[in-house]
Structure 1
Amino acid sequence: MKIGRIGSFTLALAMVIVAIFSLRVWIIPTINDAPSVATRLVNAVDPVTQVPDFSTVNDIVEKKKAFFDFLRPIVQQQNAIISMERDFINEVLDLIDNGKSLSETQRGLLNELFDKYQYAARNTDTKSLNSLLKRVDIVPESMVLIQAANESGWGSSRFAKEGFNFFGEWCFSSGCGIVPSSRGSGKSHEVKVFVSVDESVASYMRNLNSNTAYALFRSIRADLRSQELELKAEQLIYGLVNYSERQDAYIDELLDMLRHNEKYLVNVDV
């Protein structure tokens, strides 16, 4: 099993995170001539387009560690992108609160975020931006890792290996993905295919942050934010009740996995 790419990816990510703090000094104030924050981070590292064969790892502990180590830097990168988007929105809120007008570029970037997170804003004002902030927020790392393990069978599923789909996301147009062998008659969904693992993680986070089915997840997170509490996976998992037709049984399964794998997930939440 070859997972040597993990080291170089992690190093590249570390360089990106360091760059965030130096770039932030001028990215937001001079946003007029700066490209999308997300574009900067996405282009900072090469997308992951190879999945290790986790099925060849016989030792359960080693398999779990390898799986988490493989996905962790990708999750961190996507959360870093969301954090910078969130910082930008807060900077714009400060401008509005101080009675300052926004540039065309700033308005354009905000419109991109409104579109990305599927929020229909009538006006760019404090109310709409605070509502957008409920969507533009990180997803706890341990929750992402546990759900990926659950949905992909620890990276061994056909959909993870052939379509980089680690979260069981569906699509509904013919040819958009992989047809499940267990798909019932009369159903037309396919399991979405992504061009990289990074795209799969980004799509999953965007889904949680925008789909009406996960409004509860976002409400729990916003409530924790308002109390200045840590975003804990064991609380936010309850917001995934609509992720599976199994609903409560699915939540119980994720919580059970979280407890049993806690020693591999210590201090990984952002």
Structure 2
Amino acid sequence: MNTRKKTTLIVAAIALLGASASLQAQNVRANPGYWGDSNGIVVRSGFGLCWRSGSWTPELAIPECEGGVTAKAVAPAPAPAPAPVAVAAAPAPAPVVAPAPAPAPVAAPAPVFRTQMVDKAVRLEGASFATGSSRLLPGAGPKLDEVVNAARQYPEAGLTVTGYTDSQGNAQSNVRLSQARADAVKAYLVGKGVAASRITTDGKGAADPVADNTTAEGRAKNRRVEVRYTVKEETRVRVTQ
């Protein structure tokens, strides 16, 4: 009888301890991972299991509810890598512009040879003829030799020999006399080797005086023969801009 009473007392004690432990387990404070009652205590099933909420994660596990499972230490999420800082690109170097070439020196214009016709005249006057005569006096030789040299230098040139008189005497006679004087000069030139075909003669009497016929000196200048020839000469001409 005593032994049965002791056994009953021991069982009752164990039951009280279990009830106390169960009551203590029911008083676990809930977190977002579990359902809680109005007092914030975890709601348990009839078997004493904690009711998890839809937000439950291992990190929210309550050891009293999960049979000793402890929340895992959650390593902090790595800090996001800093956004790359845009580095302003260095400005492109300015293009190197080659200096403009120096202008070429302007060459002076080359001399230009221009061919032009030149009318040259040799005048025989003064003591070349005596009054009323077509005979050449010795003093006329040097002047006529100039004409001979020119005829040789310019073989293509034609020569025009024109005779004149002073105003004294008959006009018709003066024309005949002036022609005779021109013919006398032509004969001299032909005698020096100038072709007769190159020589043209003319007599103009007292026309075109070159001096005053009222004086002896002036009349002597008007008793003359003029020899003209036209030649081509190259004249050096510098062209300017």
TM-score using structure 1 length = 0.19
Bigger fraction of residues in helix: 1
